[in-house]
Amino acid sequence: EPEVTQTPSHQVTQMGQEVILRCVPISNHLYFYWYRQILGQKVEFLVSFYNNEISEKSEIFDDQFSVERPDGSNFTLKIRSTKLEDSAMYFCASTFGGTGSQETQYFGPGTRLLVL
Amino acid sequence: GDSVTQMEGPVTLSEEAFLTINCTYTATGYPSLFWYVQYPGEGLQLLLKATKADDKGSNKGFEATYRKETTSFHLEKGSVQVSDSAVYFCALRAGNNRKLIWGLGTSLGVNP
């Protein structure tokens, strides 16, 4: 069964450093998402991406964040200058984008980011 | 704004006990409702969904009915197993908006 994959599974970085989180969505999916979950808090939507551009972003997704689909398979989240409060589990998701069963978002296993 | 409220955990049950995890929502229009499950060390997996009022989603013995009148989508299972130990998340997708809005998650532990 097709699945969303994410790398790395864990990332430790120093405050102020740039990190890139990578995702490979399911191959025929058209919509891509990033969510994050700070320990003990709700899963939060960050951004959605369709047709090579951001379709929606949350207030969290400020100028420190960017997303890119550099080729036909990868979808990346870049944090330019990490802060302590960026420590969280980051989930990538994808969906075909239709209605009914096609709207289901499939999630990757997550990348746990720790900023020291 | 749109929101999801789940009962707080952790919930601990004995094997074969009945499970209910409450979920209520606030949303404009008619959202689609989802339950996701996260097993230890794994990602978020869709457990079941319902897209309109009175729909019942079901999977792996779990059920949830979309109740518009009470704005609820409670998760139930008649007889839990140790392998059901996981964190369960209620979520909604409102109208044409594609993002998911999540509850806090409820941790379930099942003892043999």
Of A72, A91, A78, A76, which is closest to residue A26 (Cα–Cα)? A72
For A6-54, write each residue's pLDDT tens digit. 999 999 999 999 999 999 999 989 999 999 999 988 999 999 999 999 9
Structure token pair of residue B23: 């979920």
Question: Span B88-99, mean pLDDT?
Answer: 86
The conformation of residue B28, written as its DSSP 8-state character, comes to S
Residue of A nearest to B102 (CA): A43
Say if A91 is an interface residue toward chain B (CB within 8 Å): yes
B49 and A97 in contact by Cβ < 8 A?
no
Task: Please say if the pLDDT value at position A101 is more than 70.
Answer: no
CB contact under 8 A, B46 and A106: yes
Is residue A68 within 8 Å of residue A22, measured between CB atoms? no
CA–CA gap between residue B23 and residue B6 (Å, rounded): 5
Tens of pLDDT along B2-23?
899 998 889 999 999 999 999 9
CB B95 within 8 A of CB B31: yes
Q: B102 vs A107: CB contact, 8 Å cut-off?
A: no
Query: Exposure pattern of B84-106 as b/e (b: 16+ CB <10 Å)?
Result: bbbbbbbbbbbeebbbbbbbbbb
Which residue shows structure tokens 């997704």?
A61
Residue B14 C-beta-side C-alpha neighbours within 13 Å: 0
Helix, strand, coil: what percent of chain A each, to 5?
A: 5, 50, 45
List the single residue in B43, B98, B105 with the smallest CB-CB distance to A110. Answer: B43
Q: A with B: how many residue pairs have Cβ under 8 Å apart?
A: 51
How far lies A108's CA from each of A112, B25, B103, in Å? 12, 25, 19
- How far is residue A24's CA from residue B112's CA, in Å, rounded to a whole number? 38
Q: Does B43 touch chain A (CB under 8 A)?
A: yes
Burial class (CB in 10 A: 0-12, 13-18, 19+), A85: exposed
Four-residue CA torsion sign, B94, B24, B102, A115: positive
Across the interface, of A42, A100, A108, the residue whose CB is closest to B102 is: A42
> How sure is the predictor about B95, in pLDDT bands with cuts at 50, 70 and 90?
confident
Is B93 within 8 Å of chain A by CB? yes
Task: Flag whether pLDDT at A83 surpasses 90.
Answer: yes
- The span from the CA of A68 to the CA of B15, in Å, is 46
Nearest CB to A42 within list B43, B49, B103: B103
The pLDDT value given to residue A100: 54
Beta bridge partners of B76: B20, B63
